[in-house]
Structure 1
Amino acid sequence: MLAELTPELILQVQRAAALLRTAQRICILTGAGVSAESGIPTFRDKQTGFWAQYRAEDLASPEGFLREPELVWAWYQWRRELVQDKTPNPAHQALAQWQHNAHSANQEFTLITQNVDDLHEQAGSTVTHLHGHLWRNRCSQCHAPYVAPLASTEDKVCFGVALLNCESCGGYIRPDIVWFGESLPIDAWQTAEAAAANCEVFISIGTSSLVYPAAGLAQLARQNGATVIEINPNPNTQSDTIVDIILAEKAGIVLPILLEQMTSQ
């Protein structure tokens, strides 16, 4: 597998593997690029069909839901239908195996994601979600979780676009997603900050190290003496002041090789 990479990338993978073999505290942040390798569109991708006339930023916002709740709910139901058949790719699988190995060796391994899908969980990982969960819902007014099943009698997900109401206060049910202009969940963010501040190696995978607030995690790790590694086929050159090692390749290609290198010696 190593021979598939360029000579320069091989050197960087070996350098990263050498660091990670002895690291006892590892913090990993994944972003949209990891899910994109499973066929899930990112927010930067142009929307298709009926939704091409809308900007994602206008739909994924409290203002958008207040203005047109039916439209926003229908969009999320469309997104759910779009991703329902997507499965974990080699990057998800490698991270799950890595986490399993780390726990068996009593190493601290914290996996954090900006993604709202459940592909990390499907692969077997325990993960902290910074931006919420696509398959969960809550009340837009009292914030109570919506626990009614989304499945039909055939145990298939229901993608109906009719608005749902909260059983407690009657408010409209919305996706349990962090929208533009909203704060990240406190517990998840505190977990992420603590892991970043205390790790020896921080790895950013499939996400820009310049987009806040998550970009602050890499900076926090660096400020506390951690080595920062970025895995991204198109790394941002401005991240040079933050990142120590850049693995410029898709996560699904380089992560299994990195894991193999870590465990082969």
Structure 2
Amino acid sequence: MRYQRIVVLTGAGISAESGLGTFRDEDGLWTKYDLEDVATPQGFARDPAFVHEFYNARRVNLRDAVPNAAHLALAELERRHPGRVLVVTQNVDDLHERAGSCNILHMHGELLKLRCESCGQVADWPGDLAIATPCPTCAVPGYVRPHVVWFGEMPFHMPKIELELAVCDLFVSIGTSGNVYPAAGFVAEVRRQGRAHTVELNLEPSEGASLFAEARLGPATTVVPAFVRELIEA
């Protein structure tokens, strides 16, 4: 295989064909909800019950979703690649894990976990959350929140991600809009390093499309498996 260290960035577009709505499309979630109400610390402080209801509904959607061919292809790449494959995902779903990928960094958190703002612990939580839900660690109610990164908060794992971007020799962006930072700046960072090939796999060109050396456009379930086959067979 030509490449030894592969970093794959995935966004909402890779999970759309699994039935999980994207955020910024014409029918996306941000056309139905005000992000200031459901995706900011300030919105949670104003109306935590409403925010919990929003994310409870997202968990129901996630339980009904299944990994698609794009998720499965990335898991196969990780299994068969003799070097290193890292998936950095902006998604809060667990479809990469369910597809079989193991080397994953969730930079925007995980929907099926909670975080306690009293003791700081993170715990698995596949069910509903409410204001009265006690922390499973410290048992204090009223302090748990979805373990997701809201606007204005720092994404997780950034030092690790920056290190991986600096040493990769292939950077692949899948299903991203290219307008949410810092992820939107990853391709520019890789280009500055000058050592990696850059590829965009997307339904349509992202806002940063001109920064990629190569593009494959089409549904994720079509272009991702085809690209992975080429990598494996190279």
Correspondence for 1:30 among 10, 14, 18? 10
Correspondence for 1:81 among 56, 60, 74? 60
Q: Which residue of 2 aligns with 1:66?
A: 45
Q: Secondary structure at the match of 1:37?
A: helix
Q: Which residue of 2 aligns with 1:110?
A: 86
Larger Rg: 1
Whole-angstrom CA distance in 1 between matches of 2:70 and 2:154 = 28
Taking structure 1 as the reference length, the TM-score comes to 0.79
Whole-angstrom CA distance in 2 between matches of 1:216 and 1:237 = 11
Aligned residues: 228
Q: Is 1:92 matched up with 2:68?
A: no
Q: Which residue of 2 aligns with 1:175?
A: 146
**Cα displacement (A) at 1:165:** 2.8
Q: Secondary structure at the match of 1:22?
A: coil
Gap regions ≥5 residues in structure 1: 1-20, 151-156
Q: Is 1:134 matched up with 2:103?
A: no
Q: 1:253 to 1:137 in 2, by over 3 A?
A: same
**Cα displacement (A) at 1:130:** 0.2
Q: 1:261 to 1:146 in 2, by over 3 A?
A: closer
Q: Which residue of 1 aligns with 2:231?
A: 262
Residue identity opposite 1:35 in structure 2: S
**Cα displacement (A) at 1:160:** 6.3
1:48-67 map, 5 Å = 52=32, 54-67=33-46
Verify the 8 A CA contact 2:131 2:141 in the aligned structure 1: no
Whole-angstrom CA distance in 2 between matches of 1:237 and 1:29 = 15
Correspondence for 2:162 among 181, 189, 193? 193
Verify the 8 A CA contact 2:37 2:44 in the aligned structure 1: no
Percent identity, please. 40
**Cα displacement (A) at 1:210:** 4.2
**Cα displacement (A) at 1:247:** 0.6
Q: CA RMSD of the aligned region, Å? A: 2.2
Q: 1:40 to 1:169 in 2, by over 3 A?
A: same
Verify the 8 A CA contact 1:140 1:171 in the aligned structure 2: no
Taking structure 2 as the reference length, the TM-score comes to 0.89
**Cα displacement (A) at 1:190:** 1.7
Whole-angstrom CA distance in 2 between matches of 1:235 and 1:79 = 27
Residue identity opposite 1:136 in structure 2: K
Whole-angstrom CA distance in 1 between matches of 2:71 and 2:78 = 11
Q: Which residue of 1 aligns with 2:200?
A: 230
Verify the 8 A CA contact 1:142 1:171 in the aligned structure 2: no
Which structure has the highest helix share of the two?
1
Whole-angstrom CA distance in 2 between matches of 1:46 and 1:24 = 36
Whole-angstrom CA distance in 1 between matches of 2:6 and 2:46 = 43
Q: Deviations over 1:49-97 (max 9, x none)?
A: xx94x31342111111111111111111111112211000000000000
Q: 1:208 to 1:115 in 2, by over 3 A?
A: same
Verify the 8 A CA contact 1:146 1:173 in the aligned structure 2: no
Q: Which residue of 2 aligns with 1:212?
A: 181
| Comparing 206-215 and 57-66, the one that deviates more | 206-215
Q: Deviations over 1:191-250 (max 9, x none)?
A: 21111111111110000334310122211111111111000111036531x110011112
Whole-angstrom CA distance in 2 between matches of 1:158 and 1:178 = 19
Residue identity opposite 2:15 in structure 1: S
Q: Which residue of 1 aligns with 2:99?
A: 123
Whole-angstrom CA distance in 2 between matches of 1:198 and 1:68 = 43
